[in-house]
Each structure stands twice: as C-alpha cells, then as structure tokens.
Structure 1
Amino acid sequence: MRWLKRWFWTPIREDENWAQTLVRVLGNLFRTIFTLFIMGIAVILIAVLVTVMGNRAAENKAQKTRDRISLDVMVLQNDEDRVAFDNVMEDYAREKAAENVEKAEEFRAKARQLAFSKDTYAVRCPPGYPLAIYIENRSDKVLESATIKLTARRKGSSVNELSYLEGEVKWTHYVPPLHGYVSCYTVNPDKKDLIYSASFLNYTVDLIDMEDWEGKETNAWLIQTLSED
C-alpha cells in the first residue's frame, strides 16, 4: 500500500529548496485531484451501466409478460350463430332452475364451446355490436388497459379500409392472470364484411400486480375452466 500512499502524496525531502517543494506539493495536489476525478467518472459510468442493464432486464421481463397476452378480433357474420348461443343459454338456465344438474352441465359445456371457440366467440356480442375483440391473459400480471390498433381489408386486398378513429380502440377492462374477456363494439354496416385484424400499440399495455378485489370484480372468465371440453 506504500506505493498507493506515495501516489497521492510524495513526502517532501529535507534537502529541497522552496521551488522544489512547491513543485512537489503542486504535483501531489494534481495527482490527487486527477485520480479522484477519474475515479468519480468511473463510478458514474458504472452507475449508468448498472442502471441501463437493470432497465434493459426489466424491459425484457416486461416484454415477455406482454408476449403472454394474446389478442384476436372478428366480426360476427351470421346472426344465426348468436341465436343458437342464446337458445343454448336459455336451455341451460331452464335446466339449472329445474335442478337437472347433468342436463344443465351439458348445455353449459355447449354454450362454453360456442362462446370461446376460435371461430365463434363473437356470439357473445349483442346485435348492433358485432365487432368482438378477445384478449387472453396468460401472464402473472393483471391487464389494466391497452390501446389496440385495428385494420380491416377486403378479401384479396392489402389496403386498410378503416379511418384513424375507426382503427384505434381503448381497452379498459381488467383481465386477471389466466383469464380471457370479449369486448364488443359497433362497426359501420358497409365495413362489416371486411377481414379484421388487431395488434397492441407498442408500450400501451399496462400491467399491474394482482389484488383480491380485481379477481372478485372482473367480468373476465377463467381460461382453464373455459378451455374444458
């Protein structure tokens, strides 16, 4: 450690004149200040590097979480599908009221299959709101809100037929972990037959930690239960 001590302060010799002593003292001060300056810069750079790496790791983790939230959209084209769904739900309600457990469960399973099939989940949407957006959350966070970008094209075309206002949807429904939810929207009658697709706008997916009240108040459905049968 002697060399380190001498780096910061070289002792003054007895045979030095005042000029040599002044030069030695100034040299000692310069080395000390220069060393402290370099060490300060190094500490700042290390702190910045640690912060950047921490932010990058946090963003990578957040992105992996966002990637576990899927999005789908469709327009109900056939009102007969909705009528069939409504009829099954009526049958389920009737059998449940009559306490016919097995029969009620049979209709419940059929309704669930209609409501959450990849091709027919839009049957949950009432007349006048045929545009169904389905979000499935398989992350460990609660989806609080998001901005969804919609596009719609005619068959065989790549041209987006939606205006800016028609193509942006604000999602404000809580979707807890392992839950799915269908939200319904209006659509211009002349654009009902278009082919719709949807995606999240970057960094608009707001995720929060799960709280008890969110699980109790949400209208979303448990994916594991809905995916049965």
Structure 2
Amino acid sequence: MGEAVLHDYWRSSAAYRVRIVLNLKGILWRGLPLDMIGGEHKHDDYTALNPQGLVPTLEIDGHVLTQSLAIIDYLDATHKTPAMVSADPARRARTLAQALIVAADIHPVNNMRILNALRSDFGASEEQVRLWVQRWIAEGFAALERMAPEAGLFGGDMPDLADVCLVPQMYNARRFELDLTPYPRLVRIDAAARALDPVARAAPEAVRAG
C-alpha cells in the first residue's frame, strides 16, 4: 500500500477532519497544500481531480476521493480501528446525527465561498460576517451541548466521528470569537481530543508549520 496524498488547505475544517482520521488510523499520508486565497483550487489540474474545486481530495489505493465524510467513510471501511461509527445501528445513527449538526448544518453556511459571497455579493462588513458565523455555530452548538456526554469524548475513550467534526468547528468558533461559555461539555471534549497526539498533529497550526 502506497502513501496517501491529501490535497489540503490548512484552515479548511473539512480537510482538518480528514487529517485527524488519517492520523488516528495510522495511515501514512502526505499533504499537498493548496493556496485557496490565491485560487489554486480553481485551476484546471485540480478540478480534474475534484470537479467542485473544493478540499479535501484524497488519493489513496488508486482512488480519488472527495467530500470529507465520504472520505472518512472509506477510511472507516478499509481501516477498521479506531472505528468512527459503531456497528450498532442505533449508536451509529446517534453519532451521525451529532456529526451532521456540524458537517451539514453549521459548516456549509460558514465556509469560505459563502463568506466571500456575503462580502462580494451583499456588501457584508467583516463585523457582519463574524456575526453570521457566530449565529450558526451557536445554534448548532446549543443542540450539540445537550447531546454531549457528561464525561469522556462523544466516542468514549477514543474519538468518533462526532469528535472529529467537533474539533475543527471549535477551531472556527475561536477564530470568529464566539463566546464558548454556554458550551462547557463541548469545551471539555475539544480539549481532551486535542490533547491526543494524532489530533494535535492534524491542527491547522501544526500543518502550516510543518
């Protein structure tokens, strides 16, 4: 099995999720960073791999995979431990619901292209953009806080898909100066997850520095 190649942007929360899972599963990979500020993700050579021109894209086992949750699903099917979702149908559904609060409800309305459209098409100020981001994170976090366990990670002793989605979103929450006081369980889970070496090595600052 050769080295996996991750087409990456250091600040992308979707790519951050995949970096965490690659590290947790001990998969050998290297990153090919894209300058998304400079528009490299729209170049023809990249859109030939990923027609959406988004990150991440993972080249692995002779396949070219896109969309972070689809990539993670593939990694979970081919590298069984640690499992990102349970084999038990009810527990699997619960974990997916928690993860999708971030991946389907918070993140899509707050990603770079949406924020740029708010600025360019609707004349939003930076303060208005910040308030927009805070609004949708806060709405999702309020629900996720109620679902969070009193102790341990969402996945118990090891991160599961909900933890993998939470950590990058917490990074975004801090970046956009959301008050995290109302979410003590999420703050605890995020800190515990980021203390794990595979998660720490996936952090934006670690990737950008290395």
TM-score normalized by structure 1? Answer: 0.25
Larger Rg over CA atoms? 1
Q: Which has the larger helix fraction?
A: 2
Q: Which has the larger strand fraction?
A: 1
Higher relative contact order (CA 8 A, sep 6+): 2
